[in-house]
Amino acid sequence: MAETKPIIGFIGVGLMGAPMTSRLLAAGYNVVVWNRTREKILPVLNEGATEAESPAGVTSQVDFVFQCLTDAQAVEEVVFGANGISAAGSDHQLLVDFSSMRPDRTREFSTRLREQCGMGWVDAPVSGGVKGAEEGTLAIMAGGKAADVDRVRKAVGQFSARFTHMGSSGAGQVTKLCNQVIAASNLVTIAEAVSLAERCGVDASALPEALAGGFADSIPLQIFGPRFAKRQYEPFLGHVYTMMKDLDTARNLGQKKGAPLPMSSVAVEMLRQIASRGYAEEDFTNVIRLFDRDDRC
């Protein structure tokens, strides 16, 4: 007898949410979608998704609600605002939040949602970018009850290679901040190395191949090394301002917990420099401009 798949709601069908939704549809899930900007859901509607008129409308039709939103303010509005998720949620449903925010905000929202309607909350920020979402190779770090994580594991597995339970509510968000600390520091350093190679007359585009398998190798090197060397800003991989937001969150948390983050401090200040030149809403690859002679202030 064929297994009955849960019905999934997806709220926030943007840069990341669209390919995640597409993979669910391709795997045979019924998906109900809503997005603040309706035009963004048209492609997934053509793939078979069903449209709802509000977050509450999504919630009333599904077993699990997935959401991928910009920040805590957007999450609060979608979950607790007029016609929000909490207005239609129940204790047999789960909200899986792929957004990135402060861990304490996640814990606050999780408690509030459970008190209002009994609905469970899994914080599940992602790493791997648009490419990872499209290819189903995202790394997703989860906070919440282990049983809740297991309930959604198969569905989440349609767009992730790893879905790791890291602990109680907020633990997924802390893990994502650790990810961003490593990723941002690495990416800025890769840009620095590309600049050094170029100024010494070495073909910087060959660095990823030359360093593959060594201690300097990494997924960011293989993806961003060629982009930095070619000044290739498309296809879009991630906003400068998003990384800045996450690093600021990590630094604030580090200060509260007595954990010094000197490398993150350097990385975020470099991002502020490139953002101040008008690239805040552009791709992260633009950080290489900080090392270009002709683009210096």
Q: How far does CA 34 lie from the centroid of its chain? A: 18
List 5, 131, 145, 176, catalytic entry = 176
3-state secondary structure of 9: strand
DSSP reduced 3-state for 143: strand
DSSP letter at 283 equals B
Clarify whether 256 is annotated catalytic: no
Angle at 241 between CA 236 and CA 242, to 5 degrees: 75
8-11 and 31-34 as β-strands: parallel, antiparallel, unpaired? parallel
Does residue 20 contact residue 68 with C-beta atoms inside 8 Å?
yes
User: Closest Cα partner for 244 from 277, 288, 276, 280?
Assistant: 280
The SS3 call for residue 2 is: coil
Structure token digits, residue 117:
């309607």
Count of helices and strands (H, E) across the chain? 12, 9
Place of tokens 């957004």: 99
Q: Is there a contact between 286 and 279 (Cβ–Cβ < 8 Å)?
A: yes
Cβ atoms 33, 10 nearer than 8 A: yes
Q: How far apart are CA 57 and CA 80, in angstroms?
A: 13
Give catalytic residues, as residue numbers. 176
